[in-house]
Structure 1
Amino acid sequence: MDEIIRAAGALLGRPLRDPVDLGGSSRSTVLRCRTATGDSVIVKAFADEPAALRAYTGEAAGLSLGLAGPELLAADVERRLLVMADLGDAPTLADLLLGTDPKAAERGLLEWARGLGRLAARSVPWRAEFAALWQRHGQGLPSWEDEPWQRQNADAFLGLLTECGLTAPPGLAEELAAVGTADGERYPGFTPGDTCPDNNLITPRGLRLLDFEASGYQSVFLTAAYCRMPFSSCWCVYRLPADLARRTEEAYRAEVVTRYPDLAEEALWQAGMARAAVVWTVDSTLHLLRRALPEDGPMHRTRPVPTRRQVLRHRWTSALRLPGHPAFTATVRLLLSELAAGWDAPELPGYPAFRARPAA
């Protein structure tokens, strides 16, 4: 930690002191430090392994783009070290959704959706600039949009079914290949990557986004699906009230339509949302199923949230209603009947902040 503080102070041109560990991850160390004048900054130092190298590049390039997130004050490519402005201790969207104030949670959720939609819409002309920034901060790894992660997930999903002793329904491989990345080419928008509730501060000045480690351009439908599912790849997963879920999705859609007017067409929007739901349901299954099969466990180590089995069953049940993907629908029906039938886990509950309202 001392070495990180000295290097960050030298990079910033001001000595730093009084570090507070904000709890990073296996990829990074995150510290809040004071300057001699009493101001605070955030220092983020990344490890030397592939996932951390890509995370550094994503964070540095995404913040350097300057469209969202804290101001990037200094960056050291060789040391994989960033110094950024401190956004303070405002509540996160997760704090509000897991709290007891439904009005504050509703305002935060809609502000989150509008903010992500505005970011996606205004970012479209800056795609080449982001690519240049990725190269400038690059650690020799491709960006997420250059990594065929959806195709890799599709192949891994087919392998996982075999591993579980299940036979993939006819046509599944073709359906998974068809969801592909076409929407990313037709309707790209910038995203911090991890737009889960704990990475979004709800401040008096509005939404402030954190964690740009997976930043890049992707289909706006993949971000919109976070409104509908909700929070496609996150730990903070409960059910939203049906009316609020619709309003959240429409808040995001209203912003991206300003850049992509044809997304106002209902059939086009619903087809794109269905493809995105397939992508994220496959992703959730890959990340959770192997741990959920032998035993259940919570989605977060310290927060009182639902379990992996609850979330998986909810994702699979929701996917039964997806139009235009009969082989995938047959697959989730198989997962529910063959794997989840014996799970002694209650139905996924609604978010604590909205417990008095019926959930979707």
Structure 2
Amino acid sequence: MLEYSSTHFHDIAQEAAKILSSHFQRGINFSKIIQLTEIDRRNLILKLIIENPTTLIPASVILKKTTVEIQGETEQEQWSRFAHDWAGIEFLSAIGTDHAPQFWGASLEHQFILIEDLGEGHPSLVDPLTRASSPINLQKAEEALTAYVQRIGKMHADTFGKTQQFEAILTRVYPQTLRFHYLKTDDVTRILKRFEDLLGKITPQLQQEIEQIFSYLQQNDEFRVLLHGDICPDNVYFQGEKMRLIDFEYGDIGLALIDGVYLRMSMPSCWCSKNTPDNIIIKMETLYRNELKKKIETANVDNLYYRAKVYACAYWIIHNANRWLDEFLEQEWICPSGPLASDSKWDPTTNAFRPRMLSRLQSFIVHASRLGYLPVFTEACQALLHYLKQQWPQTSFMGFFPVFESKR
């Protein structure tokens, strides 16, 4: 952490003070600015210490500024991340929830948002999931996952039927924004080509099922909510028993179960990706569904809910295969790991891509077969899994998170 006076970030601090003064209807000045992120990170995070706080004005706020593009990222993609982060947090504050930090304001000119300071450090799900397996650590991990899935379920339930408000904010912030968590026509073309190369031909039944997935994700209103879209263990803030969601850069409107199957599909957008024991997945999915049932009637209807689950799993299979498989088919890739506690048992050297793909295919095949949806697409995934196991004879399925190793 680096501490500065407000003059070090003069333009940003001046704009932030102006926005907060308008929000709180009182002149705001900063006594100190603390830089929480390293210089080369894609977001600049500043902690702004407010002079003379009151019961209505916090002692500090967080400024999150988009600074550099991810490697290979276009200007539109960078602005889209910023717009979605802004829209997601403003929307959740506007509808009166505490699922995310409270939204205090934002600047288009300087590309930053001002949000609630959730406290010191960044306690997250990474620590409870990556500690050594022991009875007390297992209990703490399960408690953390319970808070996690219930928070996601509550957010989905609270945003159901209100998604037009998010759309309005997003369009206001950046009308040219990219949209996430559905399949584009190109995604359908690419996955059909992959199966054609693998199977020799595409049957009308397989093409029909893939087009059904495409249409369902585009048109489904039964579970249309605000998705976080990237609910990695380090994209939450977990202190005590309270879980809050952060980093809505890929938050968008879509099928609730895309977030809801995140554990089942072994956290498919995250560096911190491992398997979770089936009995814990079942328990967590039940808790998640119970939250949906409180406000989304279709969550009470088994056939509608189970279809949504299978289609959401299929989305992640197509998304992962199209995005990663060609790049890493011939050459394994070790995903860089994020910050870890000193007592973590996570091994960064084994954080490989190929076990993820095998495990997600296997998870989809088992679940879709059990529930009876997308049988032809499931057969194609079985053929893909068989092919990949032949191509990668030294690759095993992904292991459990370290805390669950004793449950093998």
Query: What TM-score does the superposition give when structure 2 sets the normalisation length?
Result: 0.78
Find the residue that maps to 1:197 and give its secondary structure. Answer: coil
Q: 1:35 is matched with which residue?
A: 49
Superposed CA RMSD in Å reads 2.7
Once the two structures are TM-superposed, the CA of residue 340 in structure 1 deviates from its matched residue by: 2.7
Once the two structures are TM-superposed, the CA of residue 345 in structure 1 deviates from its matched residue by: 1.6
Whether 1:338 and 2:387 are equivalent positions in the alignment is yes
Whether 1:70 and 2:101 are equivalent positions in the alignment is yes
The runs of 5 or more residues in structure 1 that have no matched partner are none
Structure 1 residues 143 and 346, CA gap change in structure 2 (3 angstroms) = closer
Q: Which amino acid aligns with 1:349?
A: G
Which residues in structure 2 correspond to 1:305-320 (within 5 Å)?
306-320=351-365
More divergent stretch after superposition (293-302 vs 235-244): 293-302
- Taking the aligned partners of 1:59 and 1:255, their CA distance within structure 2 comes to 24
Structure 1 residues 203 and 161, CA gap change in structure 2 (3 angstroms) = same
Once the two structures are TM-superposed, the CA of residue 324 in structure 1 deviates from its matched residue by: 2.5
Find the residue that maps to 2:147 and give its secondary structure. Answer: helix
Once the two structures are TM-superposed, the CA of residue 118 in structure 1 deviates from its matched residue by: 0.6
More divergent stretch after superposition (101-110 vs 262-271): 262-271
Q: Which amino acid aligns with 2:212?
A: A
CA contact (8 A) 2:44 2:64 kept: yes
Once the two structures are TM-superposed, the CA of residue 51 in structure 1 deviates from its matched residue by: 0.9
Find the residue that maps to 1:35 and give its secondary structure. Answer: strand
Q: Which amino acid aligns with 2:214?
A: G
Once the two structures are TM-superposed, the CA of residue 30 in structure 1 deviates from its matched residue by: 2.4
- Taking the aligned partners of 1:346 and 1:208, their CA distance within structure 2 comes to 34
- Taking the aligned partners of 1:40 and 1:131, their CA distance within structure 2 comes to 26
Find the residue that maps to 1:334 and give its secondary structure. Answer: helix
- Taking the aligned partners of 1:243 and 1:42, their CA distance within structure 2 comes to 40
More divergent stretch after superposition (188-197 vs 273-282): 188-197
Whether 1:11 and 2:11 are equivalent positions in the alignment is no
Q: Which structure has the larger Rg over C-alpha atoms? A: 2
Once the two structures are TM-superposed, the CA of residue 230 in structure 1 deviates from its matched residue by: 3.0
Q: 2:86 is matched with which residue?
A: 60
Q: 1:102 is matched with which residue?
A: 138
Whether 1:352 and 2:402 are equivalent positions in the alignment is yes
Q: 2:312 is matched with which residue?
A: 276
- Taking the aligned partners of 2:39 and 2:267, their CA distance within structure 1 comes to 22
Once the two structures are TM-superposed, the CA of residue 172 in structure 1 deviates from its matched residue by: 2.4
- Taking the aligned partners of 2:192 and 2:79, their CA distance within structure 1 comes to 29
- Taking the aligned partners of 2:301 and 2:405, their CA distance within structure 1 comes to 33
Which residues in structure 2 correspond to 1:224-303 (within 5 Å)?
224-301=260-337
Once the two structures are TM-superposed, the CA of residue 311 in structure 1 deviates from its matched residue by: 0.6
Structure 1 residues 139 and 277, CA gap change in structure 2 (3 angstroms) = same
Structure 1 residue corresponding to 2:36, chosen from 20, 26, 45: 20
Structure 2 residue corresponding to 1:176, chosen from 210, 213, 235: 210
Once the two structures are TM-superposed, the CA of residue 47 in structure 1 deviates from its matched residue by: 4.8
- Taking the aligned partners of 2:161 and 2:86, their CA distance within structure 1 comes to 19
- Taking the aligned partners of 2:8 and 2:308, their CA distance within structure 1 comes to 44
Once the two structures are TM-superposed, the CA of residue 40 in structure 1 deviates from its matched residue by: 5.5
- Taking the aligned partners of 1:268 and 1:316, their CA distance within structure 2 comes to 22
The runs of 5 or more residues in structure 2 that have no matched partner are 18-28, 52-58, 70-74, 339-346
Structure 1 residues 81 and 121, CA gap change in structure 2 (3 angstroms) = same
Structure 1 residues 327 and 274, CA gap change in structure 2 (3 angstroms) = same
CA contact (8 A) 2:266 2:276 kept: yes
Structure 1 residues 317 and 130, CA gap change in structure 2 (3 angstroms) = same
Once the two structures are TM-superposed, the CA of residue 61 in structure 1 deviates from its matched residue by: 0.9
Find the residue that maps to 2:9 and give its secondary structure. Answer: helix
Once the two structures are TM-superposed, the CA of residue 197 in structure 1 deviates from its matched residue by: 1.4
- Taking the aligned partners of 2:167 and 2:231, their CA distance within structure 1 comes to 20
- Taking the aligned partners of 1:4 and 1:82, their CA distance within structure 2 comes to 19
Whether 1:154 and 2:188 are equivalent positions in the alignment is yes
Q: For each residue in 1:280-323, what CA deviation from the matched residue of structure 2 results, as whole angstroms up to 9, or x when unmatched?
A: 11111122212321221223345625311101111122232223
More divergent stretch after superposition (274-283 vs 290-299): 290-299
Find the residue that maps to 2:131 and give its secondary structure. Answer: coil
- Taking the aligned partners of 2:11 and 2:221, their CA distance within structure 1 comes to 40
Find the residue that maps to 2:212 and give its secondary structure. Answer: helix
Find the residue that maps to 1:190 and give its secondary structure. Answer: strand
Q: Which amino acid aligns with 1:167?
A: G
Find the residue that maps to 1:256 and give its secondary structure. Answer: helix
CA contact (8 A) 1:199 1:211 kept: yes
Q: Percent identity?
A: 19
CA contact (8 A) 1:224 1:249 kept: yes
- Taking the aligned partners of 1:186 and 1:316, their CA distance within structure 2 comes to 26
Structure 1 residues 168 and 232, CA gap change in structure 2 (3 angstroms) = farther
May I ask how many residue pairs the two structures share in their alignment? 353
Once the two structures are TM-superposed, the CA of residue 268 in structure 1 deviates from its matched residue by: 2.6
Once the two structures are TM-superposed, the CA of residue 179 in structure 1 deviates from its matched residue by: 1.5
